[in-house]
Amino acid sequence: MINSQIPVNRSIVYVISDSVGETAELVVKAAISQFDEDKTMIQRIPYVGDIGTVDEVIALAKENHGMIAFTVVLPEVKTHLVEQAKLHNIPSHDILSPMVAMMEKKLQCPPKNESGLIHMLDEDYFKKVEAIEFAVKYDDGRDPRGILRADVVLVGVSRTSKTPLSQYLAHKRLKVANVPLVPEVEPPEELFSINSDKVIGLTISPVKLNGIRTERLKALGLKEEANYAKIQRIEDELVYSAGVMKRIGCEVIDVSTKAVEETANLIFQIVQRKEKE
Does 156 count as an annotated binding residue?
Answer: yes
Angstrom distance (rounded) from CA 81 to CA 94: 10
Length of the chain: 277
- Does 166 belong to an annotated binding site? no
**Inter-residue contact 188 to 148 (CB < 8 Å):** no
What is the DSSP secondary-structure string of 137-168?
HTGGGS-THHHHH-SEEEEESTTSSHHHHHHH
Tell me whether residue 158 is annotated as binding: yes
Half-sphere exposure of 207 (CA within 13 A, CB side): 1
249 annotated ligand binder:
no
Measured in degrees and rounded to the nearest 5, phi and psi for residue 254 equal -90, 115
DSSP 3-state assignment of 191?
helix
Determine if residue 241 is labeled as part of a ligand binding site: no
Closest C-alpha to 40, from 5, 63, 2, 9: 9
Ligand-binding annotation for 129, yes or no, is no
Q: How do strand 11-17 and strand 40-45 relate by DSSP bridges?
A: parallel
Closest by alpha carbon to 224, among 215, 232, 233? 215
Which residue positions form the known binding site? 156-163
The binding site for ADP comprises 156-163
